[in-house]
Chains A and B, each alone.
Chain A
Amino acid sequence: QKEVEQNSGPLSVPEGAIASLNCTYSDRGSQSFFWYRQYSGKSPELIMSIYSNGDKEDGRFTAQLNKASQYVSLLIRDSQPSDSATYLCAVNSHYNQGGKLIFGQGTELSVKP
């Protein structure tokens, strides 16, 4: 079993719709969770971090964490063509500074005008 799993996609949604990206992880000791966006040819860019069960909202982005189910998701409301990118879920098992970050394989999102 992979440590962090995502649906590889591609996920295609129309402009203005909600895009839902999902991620599961295997290490129950994981304590911090991140969503990165990576445009083609660019390095990953952090868009959301979440540490506690529940929802965390930032603009059009909402991260959801359920530690009991070992599940984290990212919702993108009012999707725009500029949101088209690969979204990487990453998990860190050490809450304090210095733990290593393990990435899922990424989900390619395409937002159609």
Chain B
Amino acid sequence: SAVISQKPSRDICQRGTSLTIQCQVDSQVTMMFWYRQQPGQSLTLIATANQGSEATYESGFVIDKFPISRPNLTFSTLTVSNMSPEDSSIYLCSVEKAVVDGYTFGSGTRLTVV
């Protein structure tokens, strides 16, 4: 299965600022997925990031708030823009290297907005 390096692992940010989260995969993958896990909740898909095209956002998530870049087949970033305390969550990137391997997750970014 793929190995994902995600950073930062955690951050405390002031409201109104932005944070960019990076995910680096050890092999080329077609799609990368960004999830949010709010405190005590399950994982909610934010968007699917394709190389060479705009990300596909799920209902309730918009590009202005969560811009995504996918410059190549091993790297993606998610920016959380104009943050408010409600954005305090764990953000996770995920890839599917092969169907039989399932989906692998990065170690997550624990974001606290104050």
CA distance A34 to B86 in the complex (A): 29
Give the residues in chain A near B48, CB-CB below 8 Å.
100
CA distance A46 to B45 in the complex (A): 17
Contacting pair B30 A101 (CB below 8 A): no
Supposing A43-B106, A46-B104, A97-B30 touch, asked if A102 and B99 sit within 8 A by C-beta, the answer is: no
Contacting pair A34 B92 (CB below 8 A): no
B7 to chain A, nearest CB (A): 13
Q: Please tell me if A69 contacts chain B, counting CB pairs below 8 Å.
A: no
Q: Please tell me if A32 contacts chain B, counting CB pairs below 8 Å.
A: yes
Contacting pair A106 B42 (CB below 8 A): yes
Supposing A100-B48, A101-B33 touch, asked if A44 and B105 sit within 8 A by C-beta, the answer is: yes
A-B residue pairs in contact (CB < 8 Å), sample of 20: A34-B103, A43-B106, A43-B108, A45-B105, A46-B1, A49-B102, A88-B42, A97-B30, A97-B98, A98-B31, A99-B96, A100-B33, A100-B45, A100-B48, A101-B94, A101-B96, A103-B42, A103-B43, A105-B41, A106-B42
A residues near B (Cβ < 8 Å) are 32, 34, 42-46, 49, 88, 90, 95-106
